[in-house]
Amino acid sequence: MKPAVLFVCLGNICRSPLAEAAFRQEAERLGLAVEVDSAGTGGWHAGDPPDSRAQAVARRNGVEIGHYQARKVTPDDFRRFTHIVALDRDNLADLKRIAPADATAELSLLLDAVEGRVGKSVADPYYGDAAGFDITWRDAVAGAQCLARRLVR
Ligand code: 4NP
| CATH number of the domain to which 146 belongs | 3.40.50.2300
**Ligand 1 atom with minimal separation from the 13 CA:** 5
The residue contributing the CA closest to ligand 1 atom 13 is 11
- Give the active site residues: 9, 15, 124
Query: pTM for this structure?
Result: 0.98
Number of domains present in the structure of the chain:
1
Q: Which regions of 51-150 does DSSP assign to beta strands (E)? A: 83-86, 106-109
| pLDDT classification of 144: cutoffs 50, 70, 90 | very high
The residue segments making up the domain with residue 27 are 4-152
What per-residue confidence (pLDDT) applies to 153? 81
The residue contributing the CA closest to ligand 1 atom 3 is 10
Q: Ligand 1: residues whose CB is within 6 Å?
A: 9-15, 44, 124, 126
- In this prediction, what percent of the chain has a pLDDT beyond 70? 100
What per-residue confidence (pLDDT) applies to 23? 98
Would you say 19 and 7 are in contact if contact means Cβ atoms under 8 Å apart? Answer: yes
Cα–Cα distances in angstroms (integers) from residue 66 to residues 47, 57, 69, 80, 118, in the given order: 12, 11, 8, 25, 31
pLDDT in tens, 85-135: 999 999 999 999 999 999 999 999 999 999 999 999 999 999 999 999 999
